[in-house]
Amino acid sequence: MAQPASNAARPSSAAILLKYGIDVKEALDYGTFQKTCVQIFGTNEVEKHEWRVREVFELFDANADDVLTEQELHRCCNWIREIVNPVNVLLVVDVQNDFIDGTLALRNAGYGQEGTEVIEPINRLLNNGRWNKVIYSQDWHPHNHISFFENLAMRELHSESKQILWPRHCVMNTWGAELHKDLLILSSSERIYKGQHSDKESYSAFEKEADGSSKLEKILSSIGATHIYVCGLAYDVCVKETCLDGLRLGYSITVIDNSCRGVKPDDIIMAKKLIIENGGSVACTDRVLSMVNEGKCSLVMAHRTARIIREKNIL
């Protein structure tokens, strides 16, 4: 099993300048910036996403004079520091009995999706990845939850209600709500229980509590998380909504494609499209392990990081 990632302090701006041969006394033009990106991301990644490199440079170039100087250069170093020393979190969404072998098993939807297929690649991520934190989410519903079609007669729904009704599933403290027996559970991990309020639907692991706070957001903030890798069930429902919420909150999000399964193939395609359009990325298990273990950086995620920093007025 891989060792947990270190939470050591990130290198200073001076250390970043030294590592990449940047002279703070000289203006950094686009050509030099591009060469620095090749050092960080590799030639293939830069050639494939050259437009992203250009846009990142322009984000730093506040006065649009085609060079980075002084404060602009300092901001560039802040960006480099974040992408080469990320705080990586693996978020395992709803790998529960009812979605695999129970009342809402994916295979029973009739679209060829099999929930058990996520267990092996997720266990490989858990065994081999150097994560700063691992978090498992679980649907955790009361028996009278609004989403159960068995409970339709219990409350009057408005004629224009968009509430989707499902078979009763993942009732708290039952076998169906438990994580699958073959899923590896790390002792140092955290749990998120969602959907506990009877009259409220919640697909996202970023579900807010009554006071408006989110337990998941609190955990991520406490460790300074920068990059969230999401896997699990169901791709086109809870995985999708968790990714979109994470992106709205300013995290770099990657959904691990071969470690997810969903309900409908067409909806899975649409989920991936939405995640990408909102600034997220899609990768396979091997690519993710190379990023978190070997320090291989994704220009897609780095581009997103630059935008996030800009939006937070850190640049």
Same-domain pairing of 100 and 138:
yes
User: Residue 304 falls within a domain, yes or no?
Assistant: no
Same-domain pairing of 225 and 154:
yes
Determine the pLDDT at residue 161.
46
Determine the pLDDT at residue 209.
82
CA separation, residue 310 to residues 51, 57, 70, 301 (Å): 18, 12, 17, 14
pTM: predicted TM-score of the whole model, two decimal places: 0.88
Same-domain pairing of 65 and 164:
no
Lowest mean pLDDT among 34-38, 50-54, 259-263, 300-304: 300-304
> What stretches of the chain adopt beta strand conformation (E)?
28-29, 67-68, 88-93, 133-139, 190-194, 227-233, 252-261, 281-283
| Catalytic residue selected from 76, 77, 238, 243 | 238
190-201 pLDDT tens trace: 999 998 887 777
Same-domain pairing of 102 and 216:
yes
19-28 pLDDT tens trace: 888 887 889 9
Same-domain pairing of 61 and 108:
no
Same-domain pairing of 182 and 46:
no
User: Residue 303 falls within a domain, yes or no?
Assistant: no
In this prediction, residue 43 has a pLDDT band, given cuts at 50, 70 and 90, of very high
| Domain end (from 44, 61, 84) | 84
User: Residue 301 falls within a domain, yes or no?
Assistant: no
| Domain end (from 53, 84, 115) | 84
Lowest mean pLDDT among 51-55, 197-201, 230-234, 236-240: 197-201
Label residue 306 exposed, middle or buried (CB < 10 Å: 0-12, 13-18, 19+).
Answer: buried
Same-domain pairing of 70 and 128:
no
Burial 111-122 (b: 16+ CB within 10 A, else e): eebebebbbebb
User: Residue 305 falls within a domain, yes or no?
Assistant: no
Residue 152 has pLDDT above 60, yes or no: no
245-287 pLDDT tens trace: 999 999 999 999 999 999 999 999 999 999 999 999 999 999 9
Q: Where in the sequence is the domain holding 182, given as residue range(s)?
A: 88-296
Which range scores top for mean pLDDT: 8-12, 135-139, 195-199?
A: 135-139
Higher pLDDT, residue 205 or 2: 205
Same-domain pairing of 181 and 288:
yes
Label residue 155 exposed, middle or buried (CB < 10 Å: 0-12, 13-18, 19+).
Answer: exposed
| Catalytic residue selected from 37, 77, 94, 272 | 94
Question: Does 94 qualify as catalytic in the annotation?
Answer: yes
Residue 61 has pLDDT above 50, yes or no: yes
Query: In the numeric block, which tokens belong to residue 258?
Result: 């071969």
| Domain end (from 35, 65, 84) | 84
For residue 253, give the nearest of 36, 86, 46, 126 by alpha carbon: 86
CA separation for the pair 230, 234 (Å, rounded): 11
Task: Write the CATH number for 131.
Answer: 3.40.50.850
Label residue 56 exposed, middle or buried (CB < 10 Å: 0-12, 13-18, 19+).
Answer: buried
How many domains, in total, are found in the chain? 2
Residue 120 has pLDDT above 90, yes or no: yes
What is the average per-residue pLDDT within 57-61? 95
Percent of the chain at pLDDT > 70 equals 90
Same-domain pairing of 52 and 79:
yes
Question: Does 194 qualify as catalytic in the annotation?
Answer: yes
Same-domain pairing of 61 and 109:
no
Question: Does 264 qualify as catalytic in the annotation?
Answer: no
CA separation for the pair 202, 35 (Å, rounded): 45
Query: In the numeric block, which tokens belong to residue 305?
Result: 């990081």
Higher pLDDT, residue 33 or 8: 33
CA separation for the pair 39, 37 (Å, rounded): 5
Determine the pLDDT at residue 315.
44
Percent of the chain at pLDDT > 90 equals 66
How does the average pLDDT of the chain come out, rounded?
89
Non-local CB neighbours of 300 within 8 Å, separated by 6+ positions? 49, 52, 281
Same-domain pairing of 139 and 247:
yes
Same-domain pairing of 72 and 198:
no
CA separation for the pair 123, 132 (Å, rounded): 16
Determine the pLDDT at residue 8.
55
Determine the pLDDT at residue 158.
47
300-315 pLDDT tens trace: 999 998 988 777 755 4
158-169 pLDDT tens trace: 445 455 677 788
Query: In the numeric block, which tokens belong to residue 186?
Result: 């790390």
| 8 A C-beta contact, residue 303 and residue 56 | yes
CA separation for the pair 40, 82 (Å, rounded): 12
66-94 pLDDT tens trace: 999 988 888 898 899 889 889 999 999 99
User: Residue 6 falls within a domain, yes or no?
Assistant: no
